[in-house]
Amino acid sequence: MKITLPEDEIMEKGHMACLGCGGALAMRYLLKALGRKTMVAIPACCWAVIPGVFPYSCLEVPLQYVAFEATGAAISGIEAALKAKGKKEGTTVVGWAGDGGTLDIGIQALSGAVERGHDVKYVCYDNEAYMNTGIQRSSATPKGAWTTTTPVGNTRFWKKTNKKNIVEIMAAHDIPYTCTASVAYPEDLIKKAKKMKDIKGPCYMHIYAPCPTGWKYPPEKTIELSRLATETCIFPIYEVTYGKYKLNKNIRDEKKKPVLEYLKTQGRFRKLDEETVQSIQHYVDDEWIKLKKKVECFGEEK
């Protein structure tokens, strides 16, 4: 198979991410797609540390570190200023935040920014918990997961609720483009990032970015595990372009793997009981059916 990733490395060597960090890969791919005429705002998250300590940075694009809940507002301000200065044309404005900064504390500013229709690209790299502060649950943490604030113990005090479906929340904002991507499928991620760059208006990309440190798995398994998340339909790869749904990785029924195969790969699900595994399976099945229905009803014209 011919690999067609852009060769330019805009994320340089010397970053401070953990071994096997999905979020580090995600940034590398994203910048390859968007190119050097990109401005980035990053709130508190692992990526507030990964670029390096002042005065060093592994990112060769202008970068603003912003307050935890402020990413949506920051990129609105950058875009407005570029417009005021007559410099917007050809420049891509990116908000790059973790799941806590997106689904929890940053959801208001994000919602406001896309509703106002700024020409901004918001990318969430989802490692399913507050990893930078040391693995606390967020609303992106899946049901059944151990974190330091859902520490299991004798009372089975794991995360009790399902993950917030931010992708559908963003699609419901009726913005030009919403998509999911995974570090397991770099060509798909890059294609989508390029598509976002060409669309004038707010776009949202949700990247599945496994965290070996927080999920308790060997760092060399990041890609394998990411692929499994999609093959079990836990993390479907799809896009919504001007309201039209499209599955980019269709998983045929006979190929769909049980969630248990995915759950078994990570220490954070180690103590789950059968009943909870069942309920996760049901939830994933239901969500998958819903998504396929949306593709059927609101798919791109054949």
Partner 1 sequence: MKKVLSGNAAAAYGSKLARAEVISAYPITPQTKIVEKIADLIAVGEFETEFVKVESEHSAMAAAVSASLVGARTFTATSSQGLLLMHEILHWASASRTPIVMVNINRALAPPWSVWADHTDTVAQRDTGWMQFYCESCQEVLDTMLQLYKIAEDKDVMLPAMLSEDAFLLSHTSEIVDMPDQDMVDDFLGSFEPENIMDVDNPMSFGSLSMPHQYFYEFRYKIAEAMEIARSKILEVEKDFEKRFGRSYGGFIDLYRCDDAEIVLVAAGSMSSTIRVAIDELREKGEKIGLARLRVFRPFPIEEFREIAKKAKKIGVLDRSFCFGYEGAFFTEIKSALFDIDERPIVKGYVVGLGGRDVTLDVIHEIIDDCQATTDTRTEPFKWIGLSR
Q: Which residues bind partner 1 (CB under 8 A)?
A: 36-39, 41, 48-49, 51-57, 59-67, 69-70, 72-78, 80-85, 87, 91, 108-109, 111-112, 115-116
| 236 to 72, 156, 186, 227: CA distances (angstroms) | 25, 28, 15, 10
Residue 56 or residue 157: which is nearer to partner 1 going by CB? 56
Residue 57 or residue 276: which is nearer to partner 1 going by CB? 57
Residue 111 or residue 248: which is nearer to partner 1 going by CB? 111
Q: Angle CA(169)–CA(174)–CA(178) in degrees, nearest 5?
A: 65
Q: Minimum CB separation from partner 1 for residue 70, in Å? A: 4
Q: Minimum CB separation from partner 1 for residue 66, in Å? A: 6
Q: Minimum CB separation from partner 1 for residue 20, in Å? A: 22
- Rounded CA-CA distance 118/84 in Å is 13
Q: Minimum CB separation from partner 1 for residue 121, in Å? A: 15
Residue 108 exposure: Cα atoms within 13 Å on the Cβ side: 4
Residue 201 or residue 283: which is nearer to partner 1 going by CB? 201
- Rounded CA-CA distance 218/265 in Å is 9
Q: Minimum CB separation from partner 1 for residue 41, in Å? A: 7
Residue 70 or residue 237: which is nearer to partner 1 going by CB? 70
Residue 46 or residue 284: which is nearer to partner 1 going by CB? 46
Q: Minimum CB separation from partner 1 for residue 57, in Å? A: 5
Residue 112 or residue 258: which is nearer to partner 1 going by CB? 112
Residue 61 or residue 247: which is nearer to partner 1 going by CB? 61
Q: Minimum CB separation from partner 1 for residue 45, in Å? A: 12
Rounded to 10°, the helix 22-34/222-231 angle is 80
Q: Minimum CB separation from partner 1 for residue 239, in Å? A: 26
